[in-house]
Each structure stands twice: as structure tokens, then as C-alpha cells.
A and B are shown apart, each in its own frame.
Chain A
Amino acid sequence: MSRLSSKAGLLRDLGKKALVTYIVAGDPDQSVTVPLMHKLVAAGVDVIELGVPFSDPEAEGPVIQRAHERALRAGTSLLDVMQLVAEFRNLDQATPVVLMGYLNPIEKMGYENFAQQASKCGIDGTIIVNLPPEEAADLSCYLEQHDIESVYLLAPTTTPERAAGISSRSRGFVYYVSLKGTTGAGSLNTAEVSGKVRAMKKIVKMPLYVGFGIKNGVTAAAVAHESDGVVVGSAIVDYMAFHENNIGELETSVVTLVQEIRSALDALVA
């Protein structure tokens, strides 16, 4: 079993809420990424989602779009992202790392080649935003051969029948997108999300983590009441833009936010 599934299973057995954080690899440049990943883990992050920068990130809001643009300006390719993970693995063999991105760079690299290299670099899973399970058969075949898990998304618009099919193909966890919109969108109606998550949990047997719109300890706790974990993205990436030229401050701000969310999640189950 891969690091991702074991970690998600372990957290569930312990009754702990999972904290997943998203940053774009190479944002604002590649020297920042690996040290920041270690800081995230030290601050209490369970799973790292590493965004692969793409020229046309169609599901992202402005904050994460800008992050993709910064990372691309710094010349970050899919291969570079995988090498950053390999570098991270020199010091951390425990924390699951999941790549999140769009299909085209992987198509260009070739499915089999991607699966081989990703596995060699210590990548545990993929979330491919524009690859619904219906189109994923070829790629998942190679990923499975190399023990890389595919995480799929559920949305507020997903019908119960689809949700059952998707969750049966998802590995590690299922990612529930809390709102209709792009990443970083507006404010979350936590009561509505909780209702939806409760309904989804009747269908989804594996750990269900909720992302989109979680900004701080309060929203994280509200959402994690019903879910098994949360994914925090734009709130962290926002700091990348703000402290682009001061990496020390960047790390301090990110760590403070992550610690706040960690405590809020831990308080829920204490």
C-alpha cells in the first residue's frame, strides 16, 4: 500500500482530521519549494499537494493562476516538479506527496514515462483536474503498475450515482470540491457544505477531504466537523504573492496559518 493510503487510513483509525495543503511547485521560484515543504510538515501538515504549473489552468481562480504564472516564469516544468519531490525525499520519506495539475504536460511526457519517473521520485498520487474517471483508464493502468494512486474529485453538482462510481475508483481519499466555482472563490457557506458532505458520506466509503474556500482555523473546523479532512490552497498561495521577495516572512506567515488550522482541527477531536 502506498504512503498516501496508509497515511489516510492511519489518520482515520486514530480519529484525526487530515490537513492537506496545496502550493504550486516553483512558486515564486524553485529554491523556495522544498524548504517550504519541510516547514509545512513540521507545522502539522499530513499530505502535501504540489501544483504542477500549466499555461492554461482553467479551474483556478486569480490567486492560483498568478502562482502558475510565477512558477512558469521561473521555468518550472513537470520534470522539474518531479525532481523537487525527489529532493524533498532526501529528508522526508514519510509524508505523502500528491501532484495536482492538468493532463497535457503528462500526455506530452507520455503516460508510461510519467508513471515510471514519478514513482522513482517518490510521488504518491495524482489529482488531475481535467481528467474525470471516464477518460482515465489508460493513465491509471500505468499509475497502478507503479503504485501511484489516483485521487478523484466530487463536486456539488455530482449526482449520487456518479459519486458512487467516482469514489470506487479513487484511492487514498476523495476530494470534495466545496463550491461551484474556481479555487479561491468567495466565501463558503459552511452549513450548506456540511449538509452536502453528510449526504456524500453516505455514498463515499473512503476518507472524504473538503477543499476550496477554506481560509483559516474557523472555516477549517466548520468543514471538518463532517469531513475527514480539509485541503487548504489559495489562503497559503496568497502569501506567496504577498511575500514574493521575502522568503523568511513568507515561511513565517505560512507556518502561522498552518499551525492555526492544525490546532483548530485537533481541537475538534480532542
Chain B
Amino acid sequence: MSDRYSGVNEKQPLLPDERGHFGIYGGKFVSETLMAALDDLENEYSRLKVDENFLATLNSDLEHYVGRASPLYHAQRLTEAAGGAQIWLKREDLNHTGAHKINNCIGQAILAKHMGKPRIIAETGAGQHGVAAATVAARFGLSCCVYMGSEDIERQSHNVYRMKLLGAEVVPVTSGSKTLKDALNEAMRDWVTNIDDTHYIIGTVAGPHPYPMIVRDFQAVIGREAKQQFASRQGGLPDAVVACVGGGSNAMGIFYPFLDDQDVRLVGVEAGGSGIASGQHAAPLTAGEVGVLHGNRTYLMQDKNGLIAETHSISAGLDYPGVGPEHAWLKDIKRAEYVAVTDQEALAAFRQLNLLEGILPALESSHALAYAMQLAASLPVEQHIIVNLSGRGDKDVPTMAKIDGISIG
């Protein structure tokens, strides 16, 4: 059997603690109605993550349905253009549905099946998690309802239609800022109401315990593969691993298996929007404060009265005012570094990857690429950087065409 998901990884620090804390972060800050459901989920997950049948089903689907392992590609022309360290791309864009989100959705759909819940719900920003959730719902015969901010529905109409083709109901959310955070609020409201028959698949390493842990564990397949692939292709460990951070799931997934390898720099790249100084960004680790939102304590963007601030990013998938609590912890203990990249820098990287490597990256992933190229330029050619190319950019083509003033109907 493959070791793609071995369940427990005895070398990792045992976090979160039993109440879901990563240091002062994480926890379960939810209304009482949800407490029992979270306990059930945690118990079921603890049981299943060491269950042979569960792991066999999961690993089989990861291989035959998702198409894992995803390649680790040495991007030589991009490396040349950056002029320094070697850049490797972990090709999560080649997964079924076009992003890393499916790794988590497959796992949670199998969990939902085991818990006897016939209905799943999800929130989505860019639509990638929504598409992944709708996909696994079809695959496992579950009914599916996806909450999406009305503003994002407009930005990502392509994915909205995909979800409908997959048989999901897409519910526009018009409250608050009409984006990802509001979709999450609405999904929580649905969950509280339909808790008996519904499992909520949160799309990132945020939310109340046990979600940050479960989503991390399901995404850690990215880092396990990358580590092994790099060792067999190049030998040893990479010098740095770079990933974009919205809620933080693709980053946590690739970082996690490297946490004990202190010589490997881990860099999370947040959405700098129009620039940190402008205030128009979505970079809570870079420029936010500690607070409580969506069930956990973490860094977030807020105003002087503790109201959650509106965020800005060219990429809908990074447009979120909070971040997974484990990243907050990794930042504080300085095991990972967090930086921000502006819309403009991400757009430039997006174009470069198309032209130099023939790969169309998601705008989210383009943030990681932009920073990786800057980092590569500052490092010698003998060093190696792995970038998590979290998704493909087909969904962003309309946005790009609009920027270029081209009507593509």
C-alpha cells in the first residue's frame, strides 16, 4: 500500500493540543449548538485516520481519481529568468479539478459517508473549493450546497457554472462584504440549522478545531510527495519551500512534512493587494492583529473597534481576513516566514509562467511564484526552491482578459 496518507506522523510536534490549540491560537469559538457536532467529527476522525479501510479508500481515490502523485517539475527557463536558485514546481494544478482543494474534499467526503451524513455544504471564494466539494459530492452520491459571496459569483462565473453542472446548488451570499468570509458565516448558519444530516467541508485550515488539523492532515500529502520526489531527483532537502496563503491549506499541506527539517526555509506568501501601506490587502500575518473569527483565535484584519475589515486581492481565493491558526503559531515561533506580494507582482509572475514554461497558473499560486522568483534571485544557483503551484488559472482567464481590455464573450 502506498504511504501517501499514513495518518499519524510520529515525528511531528503533537499539535494541536487536545482542545485544538496551537500555542495561544486555534480553539473552538463557536455557538453551543455546534459543540456536539465538532466533538463527533473529532472522534470519528481520530478513529478513521488509523483505520485500514478508510486509508485504503482514500489512497486509492487519491491515485486513481485525483491523479496523484502530482509531478515535481524543474522549471529551468523560469529559473534562468530569475537568475539564481533552482525553482521547482509542485504541480497541484494538474490534480483533477485543477487545484489542491480536492485532496481535502476527498478525505472529508469519505468522512461524511462514514458519519452517515447524506448532505455536504461548503463555502467558496475563487470557486475552486466549491468545485472540489461539488465534485466529491457527485463522486460519492452526496447532495451539495455551496455558499459563495455574490461579488465572487461575478468574478468567478465559470466556476459557478461548473458547480451547477456537477449538480450542486450555489447560494449567493449578499450579507456583509459579499465575499469569502460572509460565505463562511452563511455556511456556519446552514450547518447549525441542518446539523443532523449535514457535514460542513471547510475548504482551508481555518475554522474551529478539529478543522485546521483535519484539513492539514489531508493536504500534507503534498509535502510528503514533494519531499520524496525531491530526494530521489536531486537528493537531500530543498533550501526553501514557498506557498501562497489564503486560509493557508496549500501552504500548511506542503510545509507540514518539513517542519522538523530546520534547514528548510518555509515561506508563506500573502496577498498584498494594492500594497500593505494602502490598507487594501489580505495579509493578516504580515499586517494584522490577533483576534477571534470563524471559530478560532488567529491573526486577522480588523478595525479599531474589533470589526472585521474588508480585504482586497486580485485573487478571490486569497481574499480572506483571517488565516489558519497553525500559521499564526509558526509565525510566532519563527519556524515559517510570511511575506506579501502585490496584485501587480502576482500578475507579472502569472504572465511569465505562461510565456516561459507554458503553464497557466492560478492567480493565487502566482503570488507564491512572484516571491519565489525574488527569493531565487537572492540565492546561489546551487540552492533549490520548491513552489507549491496550488492551482491552474483557467478560472482566471476572464479576469486577465478584462485587465488586458479584451472581450472574450
A residues lining the B interface (CB < 8 Å): 54-61, 65, 69, 72, 77-79, 102-109, 129-132, 134-135, 152-159, 162, 166, 177, 180-182, 185
Contact indicator B305/A59 (Cβ below 8 Å):
no
Known: A54-B307, A65-B175, A105-B306. A155 touches B193 (CB 8 A): no
Contact indicator B189/A162 (Cβ below 8 Å):
no
Residue among B184, B292, B293 with the highest chain A CB neighbour number at 10 A = B292
Chain A residues whose C-beta falls within 8 Å of the C-beta of B293 in the assembled complex: 56, 104
Nearest chain B CB to A265's CB is how many angstroms away? 25
Chain B residues whose C-beta falls within 8 Å of the C-beta of A58 in the assembled complex: 31, 184-185, 188-189, 294
Contact indicator B29/A131 (Cβ below 8 Å):
yes
B348 within 8 A of A: no
Chain B residues whose C-beta falls within 8 Å of the C-beta of A103 in the assembled complex: 29, 292
Known: A155-B31, A180-B33, A181-B33. 14 other contacts (CB 8 A): A55-B307, A56-B293, A102-B292, A107-B306, A108-B291, A130-B30, A132-B29, A134-B19, A135-B29, A155-B33, A156-B33, A157-B35, A157-B37, A182-B193
B246 within 8 A of A: no
B10 within 8 A of A: no
Main SS at interface, chain A: loop
Contact indicator B306/A134 (Cβ below 8 Å):
no
Chain A residues whose C-beta falls within 8 Å of the C-beta of B33 in the assembled complex: 155-157, 177, 180-181
B82 within 8 A of A: no
Chain A residues whose C-beta falls within 8 Å of the C-beta of B176 in the assembled complex: 55-56, 69
Chain A residues whose C-beta falls within 8 Å of the C-beta of B182 in the assembled complex: 56
Contact indicator A158/B181 (Cβ below 8 Å):
no
Of the residues B36, B289, B294, contact of A157 by C-beta under 8 Å: B36
Residue among B28, B34, B305 with the highest chain A CB neighbour number at 10 A = B305
Which residue from chain B places its CB closest to the CB of A105 in the assembled complex? B306
5 residue pairs from A and B, CB less than 8 Å apart = A56-B176, A57-B185, A59-B188, A130-B29, A132-B28
Contact indicator A108/B306 (Cβ below 8 Å):
yes
Contact indicator B31/A130 (Cβ below 8 Å):
yes
Of the residues A61, A104, A153, contact of B32 by C-beta under 8 Å: A153
Contact indicator A135/B27 (Cβ below 8 Å):
yes
Mask, B180-211, CB within 8 Å of A = 1, is 01101100110011111000000000000000
Which residue from chain B places its CB closest to the CB of A108 in the assembled complex? B306
Chain A residues whose C-beta falls within 8 Å of the C-beta of B30 in the assembled complex: 130, 132
Nearest chain B CB to A140's CB is how many angstroms away? 15
Chain B residues whose C-beta falls within 8 Å of the C-beta of A57 in the assembled complex: 185
Q: In whole angstroms, what is the CA distance A105 to B27 when docked? A: 18
B308 within 8 A of A: yes
Of the residues A61, A104, A162, contact of B306 by C-beta under 8 Å: A104
Of the residues A77, A108, A130, A181, contact of B302 by C-beta under 8 Å: A108
Chain B residues whose C-beta falls within 8 Å of the C-beta of A153 in the assembled complex: 31-32
Interface residues on B, range: 35 or more
Contact indicator A129/B305 (Cβ below 8 Å):
no
Chain A residues whose C-beta falls within 8 Å of the C-beta of B31 in the assembled complex: 58-59, 129-130, 153, 155, 177
Known: A155-B31, A180-B33, A182-B192. A56 touches B185 (CB 8 A): yes
Nearest chain B CB to A91's CB is how many angstroms away? 27
Mask, B280-316, CB within 8 Å of A = 1, is 0000000001111111000010101111100000000
Contact indicator A105/B307 (Cβ below 8 Å):
yes
Nearest chain B CB to A16's CB is how many angstroms away? 27
Contact indicator B291/A135 (Cβ below 8 Å):
no
Q: In whole angstroms, what is the CA distance A152 to B289 when docked? A: 27
Contact indicator B192/A158 (Cβ below 8 Å):
no
Chain B residues whose C-beta falls within 8 Å of the C-beta of A180 in the assembled complex: 33, 192-196
Q: In whole angstroms, what is the CA distance A181 to B192 when docked? A: 5
Which residue from chain A places its CB closest to the CB of B291 in the assembled complex? A104
Chain A residues whose C-beta falls within 8 Å of the C-beta of B29 in the assembled complex: 103, 130-132, 135
Q: In whole angstroms, what is the CA distance A170 to B308 when docked? A: 28
Nearest chain A CB to B12's CB is how many angstroms away? 24
Q: In whole angstroms, what is the CA distance A23 to B32 when docked? A: 21
Chain A residues whose C-beta falls within 8 Å of the C-beta of B292 in the assembled complex: 102-104, 107, 130
Chain A residues whose C-beta falls within 8 Å of the C-beta of B185 in the assembled complex: 56-58
Known: A55-B176, A56-B176, A108-B291. A155 touches B306 (CB 8 A): no
Contact indicator A104/B192 (Cβ below 8 Å):
no
Q: In whole angstroms, what is the CA distance A56 to B34 when docked? A: 17
Contact indicator B305/A78 (Cβ below 8 Å):
yes
Contact indicator B32/A155 (Cβ below 8 Å):
yes
Known: A56-B176, A59-B189, A181-B192. A106 touches B36 (CB 8 A): no
Q: In whole angstroms, what is the CA distance A58 to B295 when docked? A: 10
**A-contacting residues, B147-187, CB 8 Å:** 175-176, 181-182, 184-185
